Amino acid sequence: MDTTYDQLARRAVDLLEASNRYRVIVLVIGSPGSGKSTLSDKVVERINKEYKKHRHASSLESDSGTMDGIACGSDGDSYDQHTNKGKLNLKSSEFLVRDVLIKQLGRFTKFDPEDVISVEDENFPPRLQTEGDRRVIHGRGTTIEIDSSLSPESHESSEEPEPELAQVIPMDGFHLPVATLKKFEDPEFAILRRGSPFTFDSTMVVTLIELLTDTCIDISDIQDGGQGDNQTRCESGDVRLNKGKPRDHKLGKYDILPGKATGIPDIYIPDFDHALKDPTLNGIKIASTTRILIVEGLYLLLKQEPWCRIQTCLSSTKAPNESWKLEIDRQRASTRVARRHVSSGICQDLESGLERYELNDGINRNLVDEHSYPCDLQICSIDQPYGESNGFCK
């Protein structure tokens, strides 16, 4: 329901505002058919809509000279929201994040394309490939790419969209490719159970969460109140810089900074192509500017290895995070999933779709319901005449 989506959007923004961090992470989990993707998309849509409204209002107030902003240097140069350019007085933070990530990657074994890997090893340690400023992490069938150049030109097209405050980060792209599943000892069973934990590139999901928590940096690490010596030229973002009272301004919840200012690199992860029914490498860019990361996936709170390392990572760091779980009764979930199987061409009719649900999706549902860590918020997934929707449980 619209009211619920609005409440969740405000909740995520409030988490960011209270965090004193550049980034926050929200995990969205739920059994198959619960509506994780729908909820995540709707919440992000509302957050970004409010961000754009704020951006527009800030531009108008900037024109009238009524707003203060983060002060830049004593020369009084200001940040122009219309052109997204200006000078921002920040600490030299390139090395605070980028170099931390690179150091963390040092624990990985060097990637060798000639290596023979165990495709059925759910605890397979990822391998690292370094090519200039590119760091590519290889799993059993997917990759994560880190662009550590902090260059706005890298990977960019001439039609690069404007930065947004929030982004959905789906785990679907970390399904093992069919070609990898065919290498299993029992490929027929692996393909039948696709979507189960062992058919995901699970350590890659864990690695991604670890990388993202490292980018949830303290705002004080990048902002020095206008007194620092380093002026970083901003190419994108939503921060106004005016001559005024440098110590009075704090980075606001709707302020966005470029990677050059924060030291946060762009990260590329696989997307899932439903037409090909396989992952597409580098299909999703997690922009360095994004501040609210809505990570959506079935097993993000699962207690079994290696998934349980996600909770360990989040609880052992200072990265602000919340977890939301969607609840749905089995009958409605099975009907939703069966219809999805038919529409995607996996099953020929609703009856076979329901049968597949019991053979696979229903088993995964039981696993998630019975063996997941507690969540911060439960949300009821309900049906509306126009489709699935959601409302708070407790």
Is position 348 within any domain?
Answer: no
| pTM confidence score | 0.84
> Which 3 state secondary structure label does DSSP give 278?
strand
* H helix runs in 240-318, sequence order: 259-262, 308-316
Q: Are 265 and 146 in contact (CB under 8 A)?
A: yes
Full domain range(s) for residue 156: 39-322
pLDDT one-digit tens code per residue, 166-179? 999 999 999 999 99
pLDDT one-digit tens code per residue, 234-251? 333 333 323 333 334 578
pLDDT one-digit tens code per residue, 274-324? 888 899 999 999 999 999 999 999 999 999 999 999 999 999 888 999 999
Is position 334 within any domain?
Answer: no
Is position 199 within any domain?
Answer: yes
Is position 151 within any domain?
Answer: yes
Query: Rounded to the nearest 10 degrees, what angle do helices 2-19 and 36-64 cross at?
Result: 60
Is position 140 within any domain?
Answer: yes
- Check residue 244 and give its pLDDT: 34
49-63, 69-83, 128-142, 366-380: which range is least confident on average?
Answer: 69-83
Is position 9 within any domain?
Answer: no
Share of the chain above pLDDT 70, in %: 76
Q: Determine the Cα–Cα distance for residues 87 and 240; give it in Å rounded to an integer.
A: 9
Q: Are 215 and 35 in contact (CB under 8 A)?
A: no
Number of domains the chain is built from: 1
Q: Determine the Cα–Cα distance for residues 99 and 105; give it in Å rounded to an integer.
A: 10
Is position 33 within any domain?
Answer: no
- Check residue 60 and give its pLDDT: 61
Q: Are 220 and 21 in contact (CB under 8 A)?
A: no
pLDDT one-digit tens code per residue, 101-152? 878 888 899 999 998 899 999 999 999 999 888 899 999 999 999 987 766 5
Question: In terms of C-beta density within 10 A (0-12 exposed, 13-18 middle, 19 or more buried), how is residue 83 classed?
Answer: exposed
Is position 343 within any domain?
Answer: no
The residues with which 235 forms a beta bridge, in sequence order, are none
CATH of the domain at 123: 3.40.50
